[in-house]
Amino acid sequence: MSEQQVASYPVDDTNRVKRRHQRAHYDHATVHALLDSAALCHVSYVIDGQPYCTPTLYWREGTTLYWHGSSASRMLRNLSEGQPACLTVAHLDALVLARSAFHHSADYRSVMAFGHARLIEDQAEKARALVMMVDRLFPGRTAGLRPTTDQELKATAVVTMEIEKASAKIRAAGVIDDEEDYALPVYAERIPVRSVLGAAEPCGRLMPGLARPATLSGFSAGRLLDEALTESYAMSYPAG
């Protein structure tokens, strides 16, 4: 694919990666793949001049992000034009011990997405979002659950944000030292870090005879979380 054909997010002073810009990516494919490989993000808002950094569950649909937004509800209600926000996802992949303090580092994959956050007020739009909040993680699961009640719908806050700008930053380099430092008698290594699934723990009050659905087989003990989530995402959103 030529460079002209790669869909990318626009770059300006907000999302341009200033430090180590060679690690930066702005194309949809890289940004979206990282967004689809996690369940937990951190969202920043400003309330009365105070920034908040809130961890929450989220998901993506095309260039739109959704997240569970109770903590932001008061701020966002009735603000149909939205509030500036930044949603960030980061994977810590390794701790890196170099031969100098300066080159101690980490391998990581991160995305910062910028836009205007808006509370979903329309009940039908919110009901659909609540289905995807579950089904994005566990494809088809909602169909087997009891219907969500009106009271539950009312009690749930979902925030949406069109991605206006975004950047991904990836370091996957392991140990990098200044050339002259490789001759030093200093031990250096990369310590991998992985988010791994444990063995599923069935609820202790399951009805007799209920087996684990085959649709959950991707969530198997020892599997990498990002792989399981990427696979779920592809099942829930086959068009990408």
Residues 4-33 that bind its own copies (CB under 8 A): 14, 18-19
Residues 148-207 binding its own copies (CB under 8 A) are 148-149, 152, 155-156, 174-175, 177, 181-203, 205-207
Rounded least distance, CB 78 to its own copies, Å: 18
- The pairs formed by 100-108 with CB atoms below 8 angstroms and a separation of 24 or more are 100/177, 100/178, 100/181, 103/175, 103/176, 103/177, 103/178, 103/181, 105/171, 105/173, 105/176, 106/171, 107/171, 107/172, 107/173, 107/174, 107/190, 108/169, 108/170, 108/171
Find the binder of its own copies among 23, 84, 128, 230 (CB under 8 A). 84
Find the binder of its own copies among 219, 233, 236, 237 (CB under 8 A). 219
Question: CB-wise, 45 or 237, nearer to its own copies?
Answer: 45
Question: CB-wise, 28 or 42, nearer to its own copies?
Answer: 42
Residue 216 CB coordination number (10 Å): 14
Question: CB-wise, 2 or 151, nearer to its own copies?
Answer: 151
Find the binder of its own copies among 79, 104, 125, 150 (CB under 8 A). 104
Question: CB-wise, 121 or 189, nearer to its own copies?
Answer: 189
DSSP state of 206: P
Residue count at the site for its own copies (CB under 8 A)? Answer: 92
Three-state secondary-structure class, residue 157: coil
**Assigned token pair, 186:** 């200093």
Rounded least distance, CB 128 to its own copies, Å: 12
**Is residue 131 close enough to count as binding its own copies by CB under 8 A?**
yes
First and final C-alpha spacing in the chain: 18
Distances (CA, A) of 85 to 14, 70, 90, 208: 12, 15, 16, 46
Rounded least distance, CB 176 to its own copies, Å: 9
Find the binder of its own copies among 95, 170, 231, 235 (CB under 8 A). 95
Find the binder of its own copies among 1, 2, 4, 144 (CB under 8 A). 144
Category of 82 on φ-ψ map: left (φ > 0), alpha (ψ -120 to 50) or beta: left
**Is residue 235 close enough to count as binding its own copies by CB under 8 A?**
no
* Residue found by looking up tokens 């808006």 in the block: 118
Contact code string over 31-70 relative to its own copies, x by CB under 8 A: --------xx-xxxxx--xxxxxxx-x------------x
**Is residue 110 close enough to count as binding its own copies by CB under 8 A?**
yes
| Strands 105-119 vs 158-162: parallel, antiparallel or unpaired | antiparallel
